[in-house]
Amino acid sequence: MLRVIVVHFLLFLLPFIAYGVWLMIVRRSASAENWRDAPMLWLSLIGGVIVIVSLVMLASFEDDNADATYTPMQYENGKLVPGKLE
């Protein structure tokens, strides 16, 4: 769950990172004074849209094994067999 939260947080930051790279390429500086003029509302909205789209994609393509039975990991013949859904 923590991985999903971190990935979506990074997806939200993606427009800000792209804007910072653009500042470094065009203005040769990503200093604080250049960020004061940044379109924060638009960057936030774009980041929110990216997160919403990724959540919809995650829900659409996630494998749903609601009817499966989980078999926990166990030792068989001295070897550890990983758990699985059957």
Burial of 4 (0-12, 13-18, 19+ CB in 10 A): exposed
pLDDT of 60 reads 84
- Amino acid in position 63: D
Question: What DSSP letter does each residue of 17-41 carry, written as one string?
Answer: HHHHHHHHHHTS---HHHHHTS-HH
71-80 residues labelled b (16+ CB within 10 A) or e (exposed): eeeeeeeeee
Structure-token pair, residue 42: 């638009």
| pLDDT tens digits along 32-65 | 777 888 899 999 999 999 999 999 998 888 776 6
Parallel/antiparallel/unpaired status of strands 74-76 and 79-81: antiparallel
pTM metric for this prediction: 0.67
